């Protein structure tokens, strides 16, 4: 087996394997997603966006790794989101080896939508559960909570570091709803992706300095999202987070991480949730 990086030159070959591996998705779904990732501002050094696996010169597998960067416990960290992987059936026994090779580098890796089989492989490769599932807040209801809370202000009004402001602007251009939570002199960035469940428009938390920050200021955030046409808010959570009432919890869709991370935060910027929805 041989792995070679996916970049602007061979993304068409990656597209062919992805289309073969995920026939339930259209070719244009993958083509558009790959183009967005290739154009991602998070590819600061034109990093590879994944790897093609070849056996005997033939492409039989693919793994997408979306590059990003985030501030971590020890400073800036390289982060890669394992967005999708596939290996043709006769060679599927090599999938764990392919992933083992990919995640061997010094970086943080996330898997936000692992299948049951992928969850088993993740655990063997050193991944840990980042969040056990998620909470869903019905916004028309949570908006009614009356408590003194912080204010939601626009990005233009906020005091933010330049790179953080750029991240918010870039995600707004990618279709996300962005804002800043002003709590006294503290300004906390917020990014929400748009989603639809059971024909209802909603949002998912993509970036927050803390899950507790969302829960503590749920009323003002709910009203802000309602004004943006959203009816529910989905947020990654662990059972321990679920003490905050008023939410529907689901613990069947865990997310995984390999590497040091702050579990109280959520940072899915420049991930599959942005590029593939």
Partner 1 sequence: MNNTVILEKTDILRTIRGYLRDRFPGLADVDETTPLLQSGAIDSLGFLELMTFLGDEFSIILEDEDFDASNLENPGKLAEFVERKL
Site of interaction with partner 1 (CB under 8 A): 1-3, 91-97, 100-101, 120-121, 124
Closer residue to partner 1, CB minimum distance, 126 or 210? 126
Alpha-carbon distance of 177 to 171, in angstroms, equals 8
CB of 11 vs partner 1, minimal distance in Å: 23
Q: Give the integer Cα–Cα distance in Å for 30 and 226.
A: 31
CB atoms near residue 147 (< 10 Å): 9
In the complex with partner 1, which residue's Cβ is closer, 38 or 54?
A: 54
Contacts of 35 (CB under 8 A, 6+ apart): 11
Spatial separation of the C-alpha atoms in residues 21 and 28, rounded to whole Å: 14
CB 47 within 8 A of CB 67: yes
Min separation Cβ 89 and partner 1, Å = 11
Distance CA 68, CA 171 (A): 13
Distance, first Cα to last Cα, the chain: 31
Q: Which is nearer to partner 1, 28 or 100 (CB)?
A: 100
2 or 239: whose CB is closer to partner 1?
Answer: 2
User: Which long-range contacts (C-beta less than 8 Å, at least 24 apart) are formed by 223-228?
Assistant: 223/143, 223/152, 224/152, 224/179, 225/139, 225/177, 225/192, 226/139, 226/140, 226/143, 228/177, 228/203
Which two tokens mark 104? 């061997």
The smaller minimum CB distance to partner 1, of residues 5 and 277, is found at 5
Q: What minimum distance in Å lies between the beta carbon of 20 and partner 1? A: 18
Q: How far apart are CA 182 and CA 195, in angstroms?
A: 25
Smallest separation, CB 40 to partner 1 (Å): 28
Instruction: Specify the residue, 38 or 125, whose C-beta has the smaller distance to partner 1.
Output: 125
Q: How far is the CB of 38 from partner 1 (least distance, A)?
A: 26
Q: How far is the CB of 94 from partner 1 (least distance, A)?
A: 6
């Amino acid at each position: 087996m041989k792995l070679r990086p996916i970049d602007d030159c061979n993304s068409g070959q990656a597209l062919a394997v992805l289309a073969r591996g995920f026939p339930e998705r259209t070719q244009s779904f993958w083509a558009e997603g790959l183009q967005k990732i290739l154009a991602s501002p998070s590819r600061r050094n034109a990093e590879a966006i994944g790897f093609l696996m070849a056996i005997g010169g033939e492409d039989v597998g693919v793994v997408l790794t979306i590059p990003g960067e985030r501030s971590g416990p020890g400073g800036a960290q390289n982060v890669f989101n394992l967005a999708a992987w596939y290996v043709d059936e006769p060679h599927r026994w090599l999938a764990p080896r392919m992933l083992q090779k990919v995640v061997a580098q010094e970086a943080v890796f996330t898997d936000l939508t692992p299948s049951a089989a992928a969850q088993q492989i993740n655990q063997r490769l050193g991944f840990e559960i980042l969040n056990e599932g998620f909470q869903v807040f019905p916004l028309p209801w949570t908006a009614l909570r009356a408590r003194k809370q912080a204010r939601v202000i626009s990005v233009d009004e906020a005091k933010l570091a330049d790179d953080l402001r750029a991240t918010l602007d870039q995600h707004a251009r990618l279709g996300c709803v962005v804002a800043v939570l002003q709590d006294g002199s503290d300004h906390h960035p917020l990014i929400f992706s748009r989603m639809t469940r059971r024909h209802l428009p909603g949002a998912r938390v993509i970036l927050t300095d803390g899950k507790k920050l969302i829960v503590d200021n749920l009323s003002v955030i709910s009203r802000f999202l309602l004004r943006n046409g959203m009816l529910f808010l989905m947020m990654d959570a662990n059972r321990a987070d679920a003490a905050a009432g008023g939410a529907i919890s689901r613990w069947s869709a865990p997310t995984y991480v390999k590497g040091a991370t702050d579990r109280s935060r959520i940072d899915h910027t420049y991930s599959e949730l942005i590029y593939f929805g």
